[in-house]
Amino acid sequence: MTTTYQVHTDVAVITLDNPPVNGLNWSTRKQCLLHLEQALADPSIKAVVLHGAGKAFCGGADIKEFGTPKALEEPNLSTLIIAFENADKPIVAALHSVVMGGGLELSLACHYRIAAPSCQVALPEVKLGLIPGAGGTQRLPRVLGVEAALNMIVSGEAIMSERLNMVPAQKLFDQMAQSSTSLLDEALDLARDRSALRPLPKVRDLKAQHPQGDAYFQFAKNMVKNSPQAKHLPAPLKAIDAIRQATLLPMAEGLAFERETFLNLMWTPESRALRHLFGAQRNASKVEGLDSNTAVRNIQHVGIVGSGTMGVGIAMNFLMAGLAVTLLDTNQAALDKGLQTLSLNFESRVKKGKLKADQLQTMLKNLSSSLKFEDLAPCDLIIEAVFEDMKVKENVFKALDACAKPGAILATNTSTLDVNAIASFTQRPSDVVGMHFFSPANVMKLLEVVRARETSKEVLASVMAVAKKIKKIAVVSGVCDGFIGNRMIEQYFRQAGFLLEEGCSPEHIDQAIERFGFAMGPFKMSDLAGNDIGWAIRKRRYQETPQMKYSPMLDLICHLGRFGQKTGAGWYDYTSGKRDAVHCPLVQKLLDDHRAEHGLTLRKISDEEIVQRLVFSLVNEGARILQEGIASKASDIDMVYITGYGFPIFRGGPMHYAQEFGVLNMMGAMKRFALNPKDDAEFWQPAPLLQTLAHAGRGFSQV
């Protein structure tokens, strides 16, 4: 049973009990309706309270049912809402913890609402490429006012109940409860107090209006069109249209408009992509071999080895999560610089209102520093963030093995090196794991967790748990050169180099891929990360895999010391204190001279070809990674690229995009690229997994 029914003298309590967030799947809707009918048919029952068990009132509809017959099967959510709205006995919604999506829409069909403190309220459907589909765009403006409702619906963000209660003339909450623990008792009192009042108040009978009318809605649309977050998504604009209808049409017609819009959006590629990513994020935490019974180590004190940019960023994550941190470096000047950077970063957050001064003081009290490895002895987790050189890593891990307490987790932040080899430098390889943070580490959401050959289940589970604590999206990777993200991005950047040889400018390539939706193109990205990093990898490749083909043009600027933003010059020029990429005539001349010297024939290359070569290179390498078991799910690869590399969310990640494009269609393009003498024909041979999928007519979601 996913709902329960209890009688408290003369009030029936219907409790949603469908963990974890009391989602309104078909079974829950059916049971809820049956309980409502039971209460309405019982003459001894004077009123009804709708409550939610556990840690949520209701998190909304079940996304697994979206696009399936179950979503529309009776009773669907709209049918349930109408039944609550038309009940002839008062219904009080007792709201607490989480009230989102269909849960909020159902509460708006109740006659009264009482909210506990710190209740998160949201209509987050736009984050799935949709609009509310069960009356949210029609009822919320009636109780909260058009502007407040529009801001909530278009952003999809959760707002605390206390803040909503302060909205002038709001009718969302009839009463605020003293606490979550007293909520049910206060809801019962409210139900009894209103049990004899008639007529019963209905949200649909209220008016929704805005004094500026169409001028306001046009202003709202202009704001959305200029928003980087929403400009590629149809749902926010459609939500504004639906809210406008709430001010113009009778309720029934407004609901019909909303429903039609919702169903049309359901089949858009943007909604499919966003719903895919919603599931991908949840599934990333489901790791083969781990379950709820896997032991998790208690991590309260974290050591960071290396006080450079990465070390400082990593330290900030743990300090913001309330953990103790010891920052270690072997050089006093470097340590002092790192501590100064950390302090400045935190002070900047205080100035921007993202951090309170007292919170900063607490964090600084949790921070210690040292020049001696012995001072890391109390740490539960130690993360190495030093120079990307295997000999340096060896020295660090031998030192850690000697000083760390038994049971401490030893993690490396390496972005490409062999974690199995790093683990072998210790006498405790089962305690060694990769934790690859992305720069800037205190901002980027992605954490690649690298499972080495002997990494224990307990260590892996512990790292996944601490990743959640520091609000990272953790994706598990096996061991290979570059893991998931950097192994794929190397192929992407190789293609960018070949395109330079064939006549493209760095600006043309960057602009084409940015118009596709990437946050930044390959050359801006390389300038941000540091061109010397990619150069170091290529120099290693020239020795280890001399048959691997690269464009020599990628090394030209590195020979001049143009390493990117950190040197003020890379593929672009940069002004001190700014990140704006400025065209550099010197780089253009460098490329032109190289082409002339080597007699390279140039051709006009379309944006479409640029995008396909860059994106399909990611997909082909991703398919190999899947087949090798480095990634366990195609959706994990998509999460890596969405959260770590700026792949456009409205396209769902490279593997999802390939599925939407059609694997067979993609292979046709790859065959054309293989005929290009300036490209790498061997690389463009489709990965065996691609061939299997194409022949079976399947996509990556079916792997």
Q: What is the mean pLDDT of the chain?
A: 95
Which of the four pLDDT bands, split at 50, 70 and 90, describes residue 576? confident
Do both 351 and 408 map to the same domain?
yes
Does residue 531 lie in a domain region? no
Domain termination site, one of 210, 241, 266: 266
The pLDDT of residue 625 is above 90: yes
Q: Render pLDDT for 542-555 as a digit per residue (tens, 0 to 9).
A: 999 999 999 999 99
Q: Render pLDDT for 21-32 as a digit per residue (tens, 0 to 9).
A: 999 999 999 999
Structure tokens at 398: 């031998």
Which of the four pLDDT bands, split at 50, 70 and 90, describes residue 232? confident
Do both 591 and 696 map to the same domain?
yes
Does residue 271 lie in a domain region? no
Cα angle for residues 325, 329, 334 (degrees, 5° grid):
115
Residue 340: domain span: 301-477
CA distance 626 to 643: 19
Does residue 275 lie in a domain region? no
Do both 72 and 180 map to the same domain?
yes
Q: What is the dihedral of CA 294, 463, 54, 176, to 10 degrees?
A: 170
Active site residue 125: yes
Do both 187 and 96 map to the same domain?
yes
Do both 322 and 192 map to the same domain?
no
Do both 473 and 489 map to the same domain?
no
Q: Render pLDDT for 181-200 as a digit per residue (tens, 0 to 9).
A: 999 999 999 999 999 999 99
3-class secondary structure per residue, 71-91: HHCCCCHHHHHHHHHCCCCCE
Kindly write down the DSSP assignment for every residue of 645-677, as one continuous string. S---GGGT-HHHHHHHH-HHHHHHHHHHHHT-T
Q: Which of 85, 125, 270, 621 is catalytic?
A: 125
Phi-psi region for residue 449, left (φ > 0), alpha (ψ -120 to 50) or beta? beta
Active site residue 384: no
Backbone phi, then psi, for 424, in 5-degree steps? Answer: -70, -15
Does residue 579 lie in a domain region? no
pTM, two decimal places = 0.93
For residues 132 and 262, the answer to whether their CB atoms sit within 8 Å is yes
Number of structural domains the chain divides into: 3
Percent of the chain with pLDDT strictly greater than 70? 100
Q: Which of 65, 85, 105, 501 is catalytic?
A: 105
Does residue 169 lie in a domain region? yes
Give pairs for 622-625: CB < 8 Å, separation 24+.
622/484, 622/488, 622/654, 622/655, 623/686, 623/687, 623/688, 623/689, 623/690, 623/700, 624/687, 624/689, 625/480, 625/484, 625/487, 625/488
Q: Render pLDDT for 369-394 as a digit per residue (tens, 0 to 9).
A: 999 999 999 999 999 999 988 999 99
The SS3 assignment for 58 reads strand
For residues 14 and 49, the answer to whether their CB atoms sit within 8 Å is yes
Percent of the chain with pLDDT strictly greater than 90? 90
Q: Render pLDDT for 97-132 as a digit per residue (tens, 0 to 9).
A: 999 999 999 999 999 999 999 999 999 999 999 999
Q: Render pLDDT for 60-85 as a digit per residue (tens, 0 to 9).
A: 998 888 777 887 789 999 999 999 99
Task: Answer with the residue of higher pLDDT: 573 or 698.
Answer: 573
Domain termination site, one of 477, 505, 527: 477
Does residue 696 lie in a domain region? yes
Does residue 329 lie in a domain region? yes
Q: Residue 259 sits in a domain of what CATH number?
A: 3.90.226.10
Which of the four pLDDT bands, split at 50, 70 and 90, describes residue 577? confident
Domain termination site, one of 266, 283, 313: 266
Candidates 300, 686, 636; CA nearest to 450 is 636
